[in-house]
Structure 1
Amino acid sequence: MSNVSATPPSNRRVDLSVKIRVHPWLKIFRRIAWLPAIVVACFAPQAAAAERPNIVIIMADDMGYSDIGCYGGEIDTPHLNRLAERGLRFTQFYNTSRCCPTRASLLTGLYSHSAGMGGMVNKRATGKGTDSPYQGFLNDHCLTIAEALKPAGYNVLMSGKWHVGEQRPNWPTDRGFDRYFGLISGACNYWKVDEGRQMALEDQPYTPPADGSFYMTDAISDYAVKMVDEYGRRDEPFFLYVAYTAPHWPLHAWPEDIEKYRGKYRGGWEALRKQRHARMIEGGIVDADWPLSPLDAKPWDNLSEQEQAEFDLKMAVYAAMIDRMDHGVGRIVEQIQAVGELENTLILFLADNGGCHENPVRSEVPGTPPGPRDSYLAYGKNWANASNTPFRRYKHWVHEGGISSPLIAHWPAVVKSGKLTQQVGHVVDLMATCLDVAGADYPETVDGKSIHPLDGKSLLPILEGKQRTGHEMLFWEHLGSAAVRQGDWKLVSAEGGPWELYDLSKDRTELNDLAKTHPEKRDELLAAYRAWAKKTGVRPPKKSRKNRKHK
């Protein structure tokens, strides 16, 4: 990316003490194998500091728990599978059930309400914010990973979807990132920028070329690769956040990628769920004692031949979008290896929420099948039910189908190959993990304003193969759906509906409601949730007819 002008540094002054200071020559010294032992010994303390890892966080958008190969899916994801085979997979990792809140929690290490993103983004907000839990952009009482790692000597880079602040001064380069390319807004056409959406290159608006060469997923991968190529060769470590829009609707993919999957889904969603569930059990991802949740879809055999063909095409395009994203992940990893940094780079891969039940129909040319730029369709609830195998519900809800995410951790210098962990983690933990491995402190104030204490806890002990002292409780709230988890107990409500209680060790598919048989545990968790909600500024839920649907 040497042809792109450097971005001015963030104007936020961070009062942040740094644990580690690295002499610029040390990274060179540690790569010279024949350096005399006496010199190495003299520089031993600083050399250890120079081993701080690069950090790469890669996130998919609206991807179900079981979609990728290493979590039971049939979609061809060799590069993610390879990271899993040589790294660590979490079986109980959580997001916040929706794109904006998850991105806010990832970036800040806070529950999204504390960062100002309890709901969705405010497209019109231009000010510094009022510190409202639902203001719709990051507030001034939170710190981004970029703002924390930059003073610690990291180059901080991002390629992809932002979606936590639509207007200046709320863009990535306003919140600490040195370099940025991507989509400032939410869902967008993959072949062009929709009206009302924004893309940016550094701190300026960006318009993709109109010659048919632009495809959002490839562009995000291209810039990520360029950033690694440039900054991976420097003396300082780098942090790179790659936020794909795939496989979020609209269903857009290259024809050759779609063709690879045409016809593979003619067996229907019932068969797909059963096949994935069997592989997940065999691979140790889920427990065989947890029944597969009830089908929440039309019976496939009741569909006409034409309907089956149309649904097969939708799922084929969806699979093609994940396939293309995996290809981009492979290119990024290959470039990290090319600059000699793969051994000491922590790579984390996750999803921002579960598979999406939404069904927008906004095609510019009605009747256009999914895939090309004139179409604007989604794969719908029926296939999302399969994406979230074996769990209930979808994106937006905080039952397991909405909040369960793959998490792959690859770090050859630290993480042992091919392991699974059942230890529980949450997206708020990623900021704490980055600070921990980078040796950076977290400030109490910035520009004289107090910074909320971190809600997250570092995952580093888990990455090192140790037992972590986890969270006493975890909390969720989004648009009235709410949950609290304590150990294996989970209390959950859908959009103001009845509170349900589950023992996740025996019933993670949430089919056996124990609220009436264990009223004391229900009341204990409900009291804890209400105390957290009051402290955090969570709105009381509104009753909704929707909670009767999508069981």
Structure 2
Amino acid sequence: MKKILTLLFFVFSITCISQVTKQPNIIIILADDMGYSDLGCTGSEIETPNLDKMASEGVLFTHFYNASVCCPTRASLLTGQYQWDAGMGSMSPSRSKYSEYQGFINERSVTMGEVLKQSGYQTYMGGKWHVGNERDMWPDKRGFDKFYGTPAGGGIYFYPSKFYDRPIFWNGELVKPDTTWYSTDGFTDYAINFIENERIDKKPFFMYLAYIAPHYPLQAKQQDIEKYKNKYSVGYEAVRNARFKKQQKLGIVSNELELSPAVYPDWESVENKEQEAREMAVYAAMVDCMDQNIGRLLKTLKEQGIEENTIVFFLSDNGAGLTDFNKTPEVKIGSRNSNATYGIWHNVSNTPYRKGKQMEHEGGIITPMIARWPAGIKNKGEIIHEPAHINDFMPTCIELAGAKYPKIFNGNEIGEYDGQSFLPLIYGKEQDKERIYFWSFIGNKAIRQGDWKLVQLHEKDWELYNIKNDPTEINDLSKKEQAKFDELHAMYNDFAKEHGVRPWPLDK
């Protein structure tokens, strides 16, 4: 059945994009730890005119699921598989004895770079890789012709970082940026240089641009911070409520939706209001800077005459992070020597949802996703509320490119992808409403089928929600809907067994 549906979607997609006479260029832009409501088009007061324009000229998915944390999400995006099948059930490197948790993309998986390269695409990766730290696991060893960025995790903005060891490489060679370098700008500079000077004309390209922003530490350029220095002195509640009202006005959420309970204290009880407001101002500056750079990239596409047949996607790897610390209290938050997070503001970033990064409640696993393609998307400005998943990118890009997913690659038998193309959703066609989605990370678990979702925090009781009626997960029905609870619980256990999902903590 899966193969039949895939074939039907492929035929449908080719029909819809028949006016495009050649393979489109494909760009996937991934933010790091950005919350659900942090864009203007999803409710924010942060200035994101370029991403807002992308949404108005393309389509905006409001229920695009990720894997709740960076490494698993990136593995699923690149391979189309659930993270355990790709070897990334946890963070990198995990060095577990279990193949599902080995901490790098395995040889039974192929990356989108490898698949599209075989279909005639030039391939480029910029930014944060984080799905294999050893030299033979880097992007240029997994299908990307060019790579500029850090093979390890995030955390670097100004160079060098005092806190995180994140060397920068260009095609395998160590580079040392100067003191004016800022990672969001630097990653964009090299991406633009590839488009302007290194791509082969009339040959399609695939670009995967993975920013570190707005992941901690809070570090931004002063001119960007200045724009927001007085914005957040009104406190958490005022900003969150304003975002929620804007979301309702934009049609991002229903007017009948109940906002999830706040987890922050009353603003009047906060002792250091100036510092708290500063934290959110710096975070906003980091998002703003990312949007500015995306604007630079889009401008380059237009100047090069390739804007029309380039499809650009944007999303985040997970919801906002809950980490709360300031390891440099003596330093001004936002400077190159600052090592702090924005803590409780995550509840504002994730408006209107509960929880956040690493958790399988909606605040951890849902992201807005924008797709813009002037030559191929005609229903401009449409908001798509149907769910889709991070592992859907592989089959979607295969259809866009007319590529073929291999059964054997480099002598290895390749497992099937788990995703399905979301092109039909872009063109107004319904997907399987009973599709099943699964999540698990460090003991946090969830399964969704249709309107029903079963979710658990590590070592806590399972919770059951009707996501259609209660998307903010307020009314737990686990004691009232026993039959549905048992059905989903059994399905989750079957899935875990099939995909090698282990109890947490791992028995190394």
Instruction: Calculate the TM-score normalised by the size of structure 2.
Output: 0.93
Within the alignment, does 1:499 sit opposite 2:466 as a pair?
Answer: no
3-state SS of paired residue (1:258): helix
Per-residue CA deviation, residues 234-256 of structure 1 (Å, 9 max, x unaligned), is: 12100011100000000111111
Within the alignment, does 1:461 sit opposite 2:424 as a pair?
Answer: yes
Per-residue CA deviation, residues 349-378 of structure 1 (Å, 9 max, x unaligned), is: 000011111024333xx5102111111111
The Cα shift of 1:50 comes to 4.9
Within the alignment, does 1:252 sit opposite 2:219 as a pair?
Answer: yes
Residue aligning to 1:412:
374
Residue aligning to 2:168:
199
The Cα shift of 1:135 comes to 0.7
The Cα shift of 1:486 comes to 0.4
Q: 1:223 aligns with which of 190, 193, 213?
A: 190
Per-residue CA deviation, residues 398-443 of structure 1 (Å, 9 max, x unaligned), is: 1000011010010112212110011110100011111111001111
The answer (yes or no) to whether the contact 1:457–1:471 under 8 Å persists in 2 is no
Alpha-carbon distance in 1 for matches of 2:205, 2:434: 29
Matches within 5 A, 1:425-440: 425-440=388-403
Residue aligning to 2:304:
339
Unaligned segments of structure 1, at least 5 residues: 1-46, 544-551
Within the alignment, does 1:450 sit opposite 2:409 as a pair?
Answer: no
The Cα shift of 1:224 comes to 1.2
The answer (yes or no) to whether the contact 1:457–1:470 under 8 Å persists in 2 is no
Structure 1 residue ranges (4+ consecutive) displaced by more than 6 angstroms after TM superposition: none
Residue aligning to 2:35:
64
Per-residue CA deviation, residues 70-99 of structure 1 (Å, 9 max, x unaligned), is: 000110000000000111001111111101
Matches within 5 A, 1:148-547: 148-194=115-161, 196-209=165-178, 212-230=179-197, 234-304=201-271, 307-363=272-328, 366-380=329-343, 382-415=344-377, 416-469=379-432, 472-541=435-504
Within the alignment, does 1:97 sit opposite 2:62 as a pair?
Answer: no
Q: 1:139 aligns with which of 106, 121, 132?
A: 106
The Cα shift of 1:225 comes to 1.1
Alpha-carbon distance in 2 for matches of 1:259, 1:48: 46
Single out whichever of 150-159 and 179-188 deviates more from structure 2: 179-188
Alpha-carbon distance in 1 for matches of 2:19, 2:42: 35
Single out whichever of 523-532 and 470-479 deviates more from structure 2: 470-479
The Cα shift of 1:468 comes to 2.8
The Cα shift of 1:339 comes to 1.2
Unaligned segments of structure 2, at least 5 residues: 1-17
Alpha-carbon distance in 2 for matches of 1:372, 1:448: 49
3-state SS of paired residue (2:207): strand
Alpha-carbon distance in 2 for matches of 1:359, 1:281: 29
3-state SS of paired residue (1:133): helix
Amino acid at match of 1:206: V
3-state SS of paired residue (1:372): coil
Residue aligning to 1:3:
none
Alpha-carbon distance in 1 for matches of 2:31, 2:334: 19
Amino acid at match of 1:458: S
Alpha-carbon distance in 1 for matches of 2:327, 2:132: 25
3-state SS of paired residue (1:501): strand
Residue aligning to 1:548:
none
Single out whichever of 271-280 and 464-473 deviates more from structure 2: 464-473
Alpha-carbon distance in 2 for matches of 1:329, 1:454: 29
The answer (yes or no) to whether the contact 1:185–1:199 under 8 Å persists in 2 is no
Amino acid at match of 1:338: E
The answer (yes or no) to whether the contact 2:20–2:376 under 8 Å persists in 1 is no
3-state SS of paired residue (2:85): coil
Amino acid at match of 2:362: E
The Cα shift of 1:447 comes to 2.6
Per-residue CA deviation, residues 273-304 of structure 1 (Å, 9 max, x unaligned), is: 11100111111111222211111112111023
Seen in structure 2, the aligned counterparts of structure 1 residues 536 and 412 have a Cα distance that, compared at 3 Å, is same
3-state SS of paired residue (2:35): coil
Within the alignment, does 1:52 sit opposite 2:19 as a pair?
Answer: no
Amino acid at match of 2:411: G
The answer (yes or no) to whether the contact 1:148–1:440 under 8 Å persists in 2 is yes
Alpha-carbon distance in 1 for matches of 2:318, 2:243: 19
The answer (yes or no) to whether the contact 1:414–1:463 under 8 Å persists in 2 is no
Instruction: Calculate the TM-score normalised by the size of structure 1.
Output: 0.86
Q: Percent identity?
A: 44
Amino acid at match of 2:118: P
Alpha-carbon distance in 2 for matches of 1:335, 1:49: 21
Per-residue CA deviation, residues 469-496 of structure 1 (Å, 9 max, x unaligned), is: 3662000011110100101111000113
The answer (yes or no) to whether the contact 2:218–2:341 under 8 Å persists in 1 is yes
Residue aligning to 1:547:
none
Single out whichever of 414-423 and 199-208 deviates more from structure 2: 199-208
Seen in structure 2, the aligned counterparts of structure 1 residues 261 and 368 have a Cα distance that, compared at 3 Å, is same
Seen in structure 2, the aligned counterparts of structure 1 residues 471 and 238 have a Cα distance that, compared at 3 Å, is farther
The answer (yes or no) to whether the contact 1:193–1:199 under 8 Å persists in 2 is no
Larger Rg belongs to: 1
Alpha-carbon distance in 2 for matches of 1:448, 1:130: 23
The Cα shift of 1:541 comes to 4.1
The Cα shift of 1:232 comes to 5.6
The answer (yes or no) to whether the contact 1:232–1:336 under 8 Å persists in 2 is no
Amino acid at match of 1:375: S
3-state SS of paired residue (1:188): coil
Alpha-carbon distance in 1 for matches of 2:184, 2:434: 35
The answer (yes or no) to whether the contact 1:131–1:141 under 8 Å persists in 2 is no
Amino acid at match of 1:94: Y
Amino acid at match of 1:200: F
The answer (yes or no) to whether the contact 1:63–1:351 under 8 Å persists in 2 is yes
Alpha-carbon distance in 2 for matches of 1:352, 1:379: 18
Alpha-carbon distance in 1 for matches of 2:34, 2:438: 22
CA RMSD in angstroms, aligned pairs only: 1.8
Amino acid at match of 2:91: M
The answer (yes or no) to whether the contact 2:108–2:412 under 8 Å persists in 1 is yes
